[in-house]
Amino acid sequence: MNDGWSTHSSHWGAFSARWDGRGVEVEPDAGDPAPSPMLDNFTDSLRHKARLQRPMVRRSWLAKTGEPRGFDGAFVAMPWDEVLDLLAAELSRVHKAYGAESIYGGSYGWASAGRFHHAQSQIHRFLNVAFGGYVRSVNSYSAGASAVILPHVLGSFEALSRRNVTWEQVSQHSDTVLAFGGMALKNSMVASGGISRHVERDAMQKAAQRGTRFYCISPLGDDLPEQAGATWLPIRVGSDVALMLGLAHSLVAENLHDRDFLARYCTGYDIFERYLLGLDDGQPKDAGWASAITGIDAAEIVALARRSAQGRTLVTVSHSLQRARHGEQPVWMGAVLAAMLGQIGLPGGGYNYALGALGHTGRRVNAVPIPTMPQGRNGVEAFIPVARISDMLLAPGQPFDYNGRALRYPDIKLVYWAGGNPFHHHQDINRLRRAFNVPQTIVVHETAWTPTARFADIVLPATMTLERDDIGAAATDPRLIAMRKVAPPVGEARDDFEIFAALARRLGVEQAYTEGRDSRQWLAHLYETTRTALAAKGLDAPSFDEFWQRGELALPSEPDDGGLLRAFRDDPEAGKLPTPSGKIEVFSQTIAGFDYEDCPGHPTWLPPSDQPSARHSLTLIANQPATRLHSQLDFGRYSQSSKIAGREVVRLNPVDAQARGVAAGDIVRLFNDRGACLAAAAISDQVAAGVIHLPTGAWYDPLPGDGDQPLCIHGNPNVLTRDVGTSRLAQGCTGQVTIVECEKYTGPLPPIRAFDPPSPVT
Ligand SMILES: Nc1nc2c(c(=O)[nH]1)N[C@H]1C(S)=C(S)[C@@H](COP(=O)(O)OP(=O)(O)OC[C@H]3O[C@@H](n4cnc5c(=O)[nH]c(N)nc54)[C@H](O)[C@@H]3O)O[C@H]1N2
Ligand SMILES: Nc1nc2c(c(=O)[nH]1)N[C@H]1C(S)=C(S)[C@@H](COP(=O)(O)OP(=O)(O)OC[C@H]3O[C@@H](n4cnc5c(=O)[nH]c(N)nc54)[C@H](O)[C@@H]3O)O[C@H]1N2
Ligand SMILES: [Mo]
């Protein structure tokens, strides 16, 4: 540390920071070729009015008035000792009366990059230690469908997204990249645990200069960077499977598919081919058929199939495609298309699920383990697929399907959240509001007054990452970073670890929770795993104190070996895939056996169930924001700089804007039967006609007194999205796409309240 500068790290990059008593200066890491401007969100956030300063308790919960939880309820401040006594007593009461299976600790969310103060690990460890477990959530909002389908047909989602085709391979070997859903740089700016080098831009540029042809297959033309020099195929939203089938059919029609590869490495291709050729339903899935569905010219589809069959071709499928109803299908069909091209397992070719969707992908995997906080054992069997939270709360005891199992929703009395923001991440917020009124008690640890905190009963102020020491690390990043405390905690904020330790003490399990270590001792303890592994390889393995002094440590990586797909290609016996047949399952007996109408036994074109209509004629893309990570630091400088009149910006195609009398900078109202929000219009020919683009992350800001479906005056698209699962197989999140209408808003413009603490606070 010199001149007050401290090294630190975040999900969007490594940096140094210096505190001047009011704000922080931030300097991106010098070794990062393309640092993320999102770092700028830190500068004015530490003492922002949105920060939670003291423990708060909902007044009506304390008084047991039964008043519904709402955005504008009153909170009273409470000293730490009192609130911890109160919370420990409430946890004990609920546990005693209803058991650990009445406590929902699924607590999904990204929180911060440090591996010790990892809010999910801390809360899970606490609930395991204190009560022997909790109702958990499985899978993620990111990859809800792919995490379930991929292991049936190809291999684990982690293996296919993280140890597969690298950016080095793309820049050296790929001739054609079919990027379904694009690979926008804004997305790969982010990696959970941290990212010290943003390599994507330069890799794509290098590839393009060598002659790689990138295809941006997306409703948004800017889903690939300029440097890729991509050809934009503005596909109709949700129709990717039809395009993939059209390409597949064109390959067969011209005998360009790799029969040897299909015979040697795949199972069930013959069954799929009957469907592809329309032998049973009379409908060949040919280029003409695909063109009518996708809006892409049939001749172009045929030409693309021919091109893909020559040279090295990589098929990538982004997370976004599977964050929609029937999201399993494009993930599966992308792999089948790549199998038909016969290049799976070749350098720079084949199939890489989610390449570029995050900064974890396309990199070498570390050869030593990174520090992780042990979570203990969860003895409760009940769980939900993560995006079924409202269903669970609203329908206790009701049955649901999941991956071949018939399950029931548990009856939840207490919800405990740390490090996530469901009023950001979940769909159909008006329904979530009802769901959040079911449990007896809701507890939230937060750094700021997020809408989720405002819907809780007990709200505990957590430190922000810059206010504590931690270790930044990710399994595909070659640097371990000392995340040194930059500033003192705001108000009375405490680390999640300290809060749980104090609760554990009251519940008589402090020793089991802390193992007698304070934060600093935990850092040294967790570091030891990495140090030992380095030493075993004869590499530089400094003591914890020395690492801390240096501020970082280089980690070795595995060779760029293509992971399980390459091993399988090289030797299909020894390198068998972890599927039932050991091969690529073009037809899956297992999935067919589940008999789900919304996820048949081979990839199938299933039209989106939600279609534009005369009343709601636009397809909304609610994707990841470019100026922040999800909802984090939406009040920060960079995120704020992108807003117009304080509202989130929605992009429309010029034709759609004109048809609605909307000009750039106008405030518009987006609406459907589920809800409505305001946003500020921008007009762009990078948005396909019929599509409207409002990213996620603007904090929910309901207009007071506006009934059960209040207008969000700030621009949170999740007031519009549908709360349904991808299918009975995976039950994943479907928040990416929904159907809306848009009109110019001429009413009075209410002031943004999202970042004002709730009032009155006594
Ligand atoms: N419509 C639609 N919805 C979506 C998506 C979409 O594409 N469309 N994408 C989905 C996806 S992929 C994801 S991953 C989710 C993301 O959803 P989330 O991960 O829930 O979103 P974040 O805004 O990252 O929430 C993290 C919260 O943790 C808090 N936090 C940060 N550090 C700490 C800490 O140390 N301690 C505690 N206690 N809190 C901390 C932050 O203030 C923030 O409120 O959203 C999903 N929602
Ligand atoms: N800056 C920033 N980066 C992030 C995040 C963030 O919050 N901010 N979040 C991170 C997280 S947690 C995740 S999971 C990843 C998510 O990674 P993705 O899910 O891949 O990212 P999105 O930006 O939601 O979507 C990518 C693009 O898919 C396109 N798309 C949507 N629907 C369709 C469709 O039907 N067909 C086709 N072909 N394209 C479609 C949209 O135009 C959209 O821009 O992003 C990560 N990166
Ligand atoms: Mo995600």
The pLDDT tens digits of the residues spanning 588-603 come to 999 999 999 999 999 9
Distance 737 CA to ligand 1 centre (A): 18
Ligand 2 pocket, mutate which of 186, 316, 624 (most atoms under 8 A from CB): 624
Q: Which atom of ligand 2 is nearest to the CA of 621?
A: 31
Q: Whose CA is nearest to atom 3 of ligand 2?
A: 187
Is it the case that residue 761 has pLDDT exceeding 80?
A: no
Average pLDDT, the chain: 97
| 699 given a catalytic annotation | no
Over 90: is that where the pLDDT of 576 sits?
A: yes
pLDDT beyond 90 at 82: yes
Each residue of 464-523: pLDDT tens digit?
Answer: 999 999 999 999 999 999 999 999 999 999 999 999 999 999 999 999 999 999 999 999
Nearest in space to 267 (alpha carbons), one of 598, 589, 595, 605 = 589
Question: Whole-structure pTM over 0.75, yes or no?
Answer: yes
pLDDT band at 115 (very low <50, low <70, confident <90, very high): very high
> Which is the closest atom of ligand 2 to the Cα of 623?
24
- Give percent of the chain with pLDDT exceeding 90: 99
Confidence of residue 609 (pLDDT cuts 50, 70, 90): confident
Contacts of residue 333, defined as CB under 8 A and 6 or more positions apart, other chains included, come to 240, 241, 244, 245, 248, 603
Question: Could you read off the pLDDT of 26-48 as tens digits, one per residue?
Answer: 999 999 999 999 999 999 999 99
Distance, CA of 274 to CA of 282 (rounded, Å)? 10
Active-site choice (5, 19, 108, 215): 108
Q: Which fold has domain 146-192+199-358+565-594?
A: Dimethylsulfoxide Reductase; domain 2 (3.40.228)
The pLDDT assigned to 683 comes to 98
Residue with the nearest Cα to atom 19 of ligand 2? 320
Confidence check: pLDDT of 542 > 60 = yes
Alpha helix ranges (H) inside 507-653: 510-514, 519-536, 544-550, 563-570, 589-594, 637-641
**How far is it, in rounded angstroms, from Cα 583 to Cα 575?**
10
- Ligand lying closest to the C-alpha of residue 675: 1
Would you put residue 691 in left (φ > 0), alpha (ψ -120 to 50) or beta? beta
Instruction: For 446, list phi and psi in degrees, rounded to 5.
Output: -145, 160
**Best residue among 497, 639, 733 to mutate for probing ligand 1, ranked by most atoms within 8 Å of CB:** 733
Distance CA 183, CA 180 (A): 8
- Residue with CA closest to ligand 2 atom 13: 142
DSSP-assigned letter for residue 6? E
CA-nearest residue for atom 30, ligand 2, is 181
Nearest to 220 by CA among 741, 742, 717, 693: 693
186 CB near ligand 2 (under 6 Å): yes
**Considering every ligand atom, which ligand is closest to the CA of 110?**
1
Q: Is 416 assigned a catalytic role?
A: no
Ligand 2 binding pocket includes 360 (Cβ within 6 Å): no
Between the alpha carbon of residue 560 and those of residues 174, 207, 344, 644, the distances in Å are 15, 17, 15, 45
Give the integer Cα–Cα distance in Å for 123 and 127.
6
- Residue closest via CA to ligand 1's atom 13 equals 141
CA distances from 122 to 419, 499, 501, 666 (A): 10, 10, 10, 45
620 lines ligand 2 (CB under 6 A): no
Residue 144 CB–ligand 2 contact under 6 Å? no
CA of 631 to the centre of ligand 3 (A): 12
Q: Which ligand is nearest to the CA of 191?
A: 2
- Kindly report the number of other CB atoms within 10 A of residue 749's CB atom: 13
Ligand nearest to the CA of 137: 1
Question: Residue 497 belongs to what H/E stretch?
Answer: helix 496-506
In angstroms, what is the span from residue 192 Cα to ligand 1's centroid?
A: 11
C-alpha 276 – ligand 2 centre gap (Å): 29
The pLDDT of residue 226 is: 97
Model pLDDT, residue 295: 98
Q: Is 420 in the pocket of ligand 2 (CB under 6 A)?
A: no
pLDDT at site 2: 61
Query: What average pLDDT does the segment 178-205 reach?
Result: 98
pLDDT in tens, 421-458: 999 999 999 999 999 999 999 999 999 999 999 999 99
Nearest ligand, CA 734 = 1
Q: Sign of the C-alpha dihedral, residues 56, 57, 59, 62?
A: negative
Q: Is 421 in the pocket of ligand 2 (CB under 6 A)?
A: no
Q: Which long-range contacts (CB under 8 A, 24 or more apart) does 253-256 make?
A: 253/286, 254/305, 254/306, 254/309, 256/305, 256/306, 256/309
- Give 418's pLDDT tier (boundaries 50, 70, 90): very high
**What is the predicted pLDDT for the residue at 558?**
97
Of the pLDDT bands very low, low, confident and very high (cuts 50, 70, 90), residue 1 is very low
Q: State pLDDT tens for residues 679-711.
A: 999 999 999 999 999 999 999 999 999 999 999
Any residues with Cβ below 6 Å from ligand 1, and which? 109-112, 117, 119, 141-142, 323, 418-421, 424-425, 445-448, 450, 462, 496, 622-624, 629-632, 696, 717-718, 721, 733, 735-736
Domain regions of the chain by residue span: 146-192+199-358+565-594, 618-744
Cα-to-centroid distance, 404 and ligand 3 (Å): 25
Which residues are within 5 Å of ligand 3 (an ion), measured at CB? 142
Residue 111 Cα to ligand 1 middle (Å) = 7
Which residue of 320, 609, 631 sits with most ligand 2 atoms within 8 Å of its CB, as the best mutation to test the pocket?
Answer: 320
The one catalytic residue among 104, 110, 275, 596: 110
Decide which of 2.40.50.140, 2.40.40.20, 3.40.50.10110, 1.10.940.10 is the CATH code for 618-744. 2.40.40.20
